[in-house]
Structure 1
Amino acid sequence: MAKKSIPALSGSPMGLAHYYDDPASVGPVEVRFKVAVPVPTETPEVAEGGAAICL
Structure 2
Amino acid sequence: MEQVTITNPSSGNYTIYINGNSIPFGPQEYFISYELIDSEVELTYPIGVKA
TM-score (norm 1): 0.23
Q: More relative contact order in 1 or in 2 (CA 8 Å, sep 6+)?
A: 1
Based on CA coordinates, which of the two structures has the bigger radius of gyration?
2
Q: TM-score, normalised by structure 2?
A: 0.24
